[in-house]
Amino acid sequence: RAKAKSRGTISIYEPEMDQQIRDRRVLHQDLSLAIKNGELSLHYQPQAMARQTVASSEVIGFEALARWLHPVRGFVPPSDFIPLAEESGLIVEMGEWILREACREAASWPMPLQIAVNLSPAQFMHGDVVGVVHSILLETGLSPGRLELEITEGVLIEDFDRGLALLRRLKALGVRVSMDDFGSGYSSLSYLQAFPFDKIKIDRAFVINLGHNPQSAAIIRAVIGLGHGLEMSIVAEGVETQEQLGFLADEGCDSVQGYFLGKPLPIGQYAALVGRNSGNAIEPARKTG
Ligand code: C2E
Ligand code: MG
Ligand code: MG
Ligand code: MG
Distance 186 CA to ligand 3 centre (A): 14
Ligand nearest to the CA of 79: 1
Distance 65 CA to ligand 1 centre (A): 6
Give 74's strand partners: 70
Atom of ligand 1 nearest to the CA of 42: 41
> Which residue would you say has higher pLDDT here, 43 or 279?
43
> Which residue would you say has higher pLDDT here, 24 or 266?
266
Q: How far apart are CA 153 and CA 190, in angstroms?
A: 11
42, 65, 203, best to mutate for ligand 1 pocket (most atoms within 8 Å of CB): 65
Do 49 and 255 meet the contact criterion of CB atoms below 8 Å apart?
A: yes
Q: What is the mean pLDDT of residues 170-191?
A: 89
Distance 276 CA to ligand 3 centre (A): 27
pLDDT attached to residue 13? 62
Q: How far apart are CA 132 and CA 95, in angstroms?
A: 10
Do 68 and 39 meet the contact criterion of CB atoms below 8 Å apart?
A: yes
Lowest-pLDDT range of 1-10, 17-26, 54-63, 91-100: 1-10
**What integer best gives the mean pLDDT of the chain?**
89
**DSSP secondary structure string for all residues of 30-95:** HHHHHTTTT-EEEEEEEEEE--SSTTTS-EEEEEEEEEEEETTTEEE-HHHHHHHHHHHSHHHHHH
Q: What is the mean pLDDT of residues 235-247?
A: 97
Residue 230 has pLDDT above 60, yes or no: yes
Question: What's the ipTM?
Answer: 0.98
Give 201's strand partners: 235
Do 26 and 32 meet the contact criterion of CB atoms below 8 Å apart?
A: no
pLDDT attached to residue 3? 43
Confidence (pTM): 0.91
What is the radius of gyration, based on Cα positions, of the chain?
20
Do 242 and 248 meet the contact criterion of CB atoms below 8 Å apart?
A: no
Ligand nearest to the CA of 67: 1
> Which residue would you say has higher pLDDT here, 179 or 5?
179
Reported confidence tier of residue 287, pLDDT bands at 50, 70, 90 = very low
Q: What is the mean pLDDT of residues 183-189?
A: 77
| Strand segments (E) across the chain | 40-49, 59-70, 74-76, 114-118, 147-152, 176-182, 199-202, 233-236, 255-256
pLDDT attached to residue 1? 38
Residue 92 phi, psi (nearest 5)? -65, -50
% of the chain at pLDDT higher than 90: 71
Residue 86 has pLDDT above 70, yes or no: yes
Residue 276 has a CB neighbour count (10 Å cut-off) of 15
Q: Tens digits of per-residue pLDDT, 274-285?
A: 988 754 444 444
